[in-house]
Amino acid sequence: MRRGYLYILSADDNRTLIGFPEDVQGILIWSAWKHHNHDRCVVGQEKVGHREVSTVFIGHGHMFETMIFSELDGDPLNDKQWRHESWDEARAFHEHLCEELRTYSDWENDDEAWEDWEFETQ
């Protein structure tokens, strides 16, 4: 990725990134594309217990981001985020994270267990 560029996903495969300089014209193209292609930016969204795992295409800086949103106050995983450089990497991470959360669902209300837990990337 080039610094100072904004990116959109190609219409062909949703995995090829097309870059535009971060100038007025590039910002207009990027923001119009994002506005009309919001659904294409979603790599994955899944509810796992009381948590929502969301992985989306951002299109600048880090290209993709996975976040956990929790319905419970004080959940140590709430707002936790990871960044990815490609659609395939983001998708694989999203699926792996959801599986990990399902595996450890018995820790649902055990804050001490989550304090020592670190998600292992593939």
Q: How many helices (H) and strands (E) does the chain have?
A: 3, 6
**pLDDT, position 116:** 57
Cα angle value 109/96/45 (rounded, 5°): 80
Examine the pLDDT at 17 and tell me if it is beyond 60.
yes
Question: Residue 96: which domain range?
Answer: 5-116
For residue 121, being part of any structural domain is answered with no
Examine the pLDDT at 59 and tell me if it is beyond 70.
yes
**pLDDT, position 117:** 56
Per-residue confidence band for 75, with pLDDT thresholds at 50, 70 and 90: confident
Per-residue confidence band for 96, with pLDDT thresholds at 50, 70 and 90: very high
For residue 73, being part of any structural domain is answered with yes
For residue 99, being part of any structural domain is answered with yes
For residue 35, being part of any structural domain is answered with yes
For residue 45, being part of any structural domain is answered with yes
Cα angle value 82/86/89 (rounded, 5°): 65
The backbone torsions φ and ψ at residue 21, rounded to the nearest 5 degrees and listed phi first, read -60, 145
Number of domains in the chain: 1
- Compute the distance between CA of residue 32 and CA of residue 20 in angstroms, rounded to an integer: 13
For residue 122, being part of any structural domain is answered with no
Per-residue confidence band for 122, with pLDDT thresholds at 50, 70 and 90: very low
**pLDDT, position 108:** 58
Q: Which residue has the higher pLDDT, 119 or 59?
A: 59
Residue 55: is it exposed, middle or buried by C-beta count within 10 angstroms (0-12/13-18/19+)?
buried
pTM of model > 0.85: no
Examine the pLDDT at 43 and tell me if it is beyond 80.
yes
Residue closest to 54 by CA, chosen among 41, 64, 63, 67: 67
Alpha-carbon Rg for the chain, nearest whole angstrom, is 16
